[in-house]
Structure 1
Amino acid sequence: MTFNAKTFVFATTVAISGLGSMAQAEEVVLRAVSAFQLGTVFYDPFESFVERVNENGKGIVQIDVIGGPEAMPPFEVGNALRGGIIDLANTTAVYHANLVPEGMAMTLTNMSMDELRENGGYDLLDQLHREKAKIHWLGRLTQNIQYYIYLSELPDGVDFDALKVRSAPVYQSFFSALGITPVQTAPGEVFTALERGTIDGYAWPSLGVFDLGWQEKTAARIEPGFNQVETGVYFSDASWNELSQEQQDFLTEQMIAFEGEADRYNALADAEFAHQAEYGITTIQLEGEQLDTFVKMSNEEGWKPVMAASPDAGGRLRDLLVK
Structure 2
Amino acid sequence: MTKRLTRLAVVTLAVALPAFEAASAQDVTLRAVSAFPTGSTFQLPFKKFIDEVNAAGDGSVTINYVGGPEAIPSLEVANAVSSGVVDIAVFPTSFYTAELPGAAMIKLATTTMPDQRENGCFELLDTLHQDGMNTKYLGRTGDHVKFHLYLNKKIEEPDLSGLNLRVAATYQALFGELGANMVNTPPGDVYSALERGTVDGYGWPSIGIFDLGWDAHTSYRVDPGFYIVDVNFLANLDTWNNLTDEQKALLNGKMIDIETGEQENAQLVEKELARQEAAGIEAITFDGEAGDLWEKTAQDAAIAEIAEADPQAVESLSGCLIPSE
> Quick check: TM above 0.5?
yes
- How far is the alpha carbon of 1:274 from its aligned partner? 0.9
- How far is the alpha carbon of 1:21 from its aligned partner? 8.9
1:298 is matched with 298
Q: Provide the aligned C-alpha RMSD in A.
A: 1.9
| Structure 2 residue 136 is the aligned partner of structure 1 residue 136 | yes
Considering only CA atoms, is the larger Rg found in Structure 1 or Structure 2?
Answer: 2
User: What is the alpha-carbon distance in structure 2 between the residues aligned to residue 27 and residue 252 of structure 1?
Assistant: 17
Task: Extract unaligned runs of 5+ from structure 1.
Answer: 1-19
Distance change (3 Å), C-alpha of 1:91 and 1:158: closer
| Structure 2 residue 123 is the aligned partner of structure 1 residue 95 | no
Q: Indicate if the aligned counterparts of 2:158 and 2:294 stay in contact, CA closer than 8 A.
A: no
Q: Indicate if the aligned counterparts of 2:97 and 2:103 stay in contact, CA closer than 8 A.
A: yes
Give the letter for the 2:119 counterpart. N
2:206 is matched with 206
User: What is the alpha-carbon distance in structure 2 between the residues aligned to residue 21 and residue 202 of structure 1?
Assistant: 55
Distance change (3 Å), C-alpha of 1:21 and 1:33: farther
Give the letter for the 1:227 counterpart. Y
Aligned counterparts, 1:222-237, within 5 A:
222-237=222-237
Give the letter for the 1:283 counterpart. A
Q: Indicate if the aligned counterparts of 1:23 and 1:243 stay in contact, CA closer than 8 A.
A: no
Q: Indicate if the aligned counterparts of 1:22 and 1:28 stay in contact, CA closer than 8 A.
A: no
- How far is the alpha carbon of 1:213 from its aligned partner? 0.9
Identity of aligned residues (%): 38
Q: Indicate if the aligned counterparts of 1:136 and 1:234 stay in contact, CA closer than 8 A.
A: yes
Task: Extract unaligned runs of 5+ from structure 2.
Answer: 1-19
1:29 is matched with 29
Q: Secondary structure at the match of 1:79?
A: helix
Distance change (3 Å), C-alpha of 1:118 and 1:158: closer
2:7 is matched with none
1:82 is matched with 82
Give the letter for the 1:314 counterpart. V
- How far is the alpha carbon of 1:319 from its aligned partner? 1.9
- How far is the alpha carbon of 1:23 from its aligned partner? 7.2
- Alignment coverage as a number of residue pairs: 304
Instruction: Please report the TM-score for the alignment, with normalisation by the length of structure 1.
Output: 0.89
User: What is the alpha-carbon distance in structure 1 between the residues aligned to residue 200 and residue 82 of structure 2?
Assistant: 38
- How far is the alpha carbon of 1:22 from its aligned partner? 9.2
Q: Indicate if the aligned counterparts of 1:307 and 1:314 stay in contact, CA closer than 8 A.
A: yes
Give the letter for the 2:314 counterpart. G
Give the letter for the 1:202 counterpart. Y
Distance change (3 Å), C-alpha of 1:23 and 1:271: farther
- How far is the alpha carbon of 1:102 from its aligned partner? 0.9
Distance change (3 Å), C-alpha of 1:282 and 1:74: same
Aligned counterparts, 1:1-323, within 5 A:
24-25=24-25, 27-155=27-155, 159-323=159-323
User: What is the alpha-carbon distance in structure 2 between the residues aligned to residue 172 and residue 92 of structure 1?
Assistant: 15
- How far is the alpha carbon of 1:202 from its aligned partner? 0.9
Deviates more, 1:121-130 or 1:185-194: 185-194
User: What is the alpha-carbon distance in structure 2 between the residues aligned to residue 191 and residue 138 of structure 1?
Assistant: 33
Deviates more, 1:178-187 or 1:29-38: 178-187
Q: Indicate if the aligned counterparts of 1:221 and 1:282 stay in contact, CA closer than 8 A.
A: yes
Distance change (3 Å), C-alpha of 1:202 and 1:230: same
Q: Secondary structure at the match of 1:31?
A: strand
Deviates more, 1:291-300 or 1:53-62: 53-62
Distance change (3 Å), C-alpha of 1:21 and 1:32: farther
Q: Secondary structure at the match of 1:162?
A: coil
- How far is the alpha carbon of 1:206 from its aligned partner? 0.8
Q: Indicate if the aligned counterparts of 2:158 and 2:293 stay in contact, CA closer than 8 A.
A: no
- How far is the alpha carbon of 1:192 from its aligned partner? 2.2
Instruction: Please report the TM-score for the alignment, with normalisation by the length of structure 2.
Output: 0.88
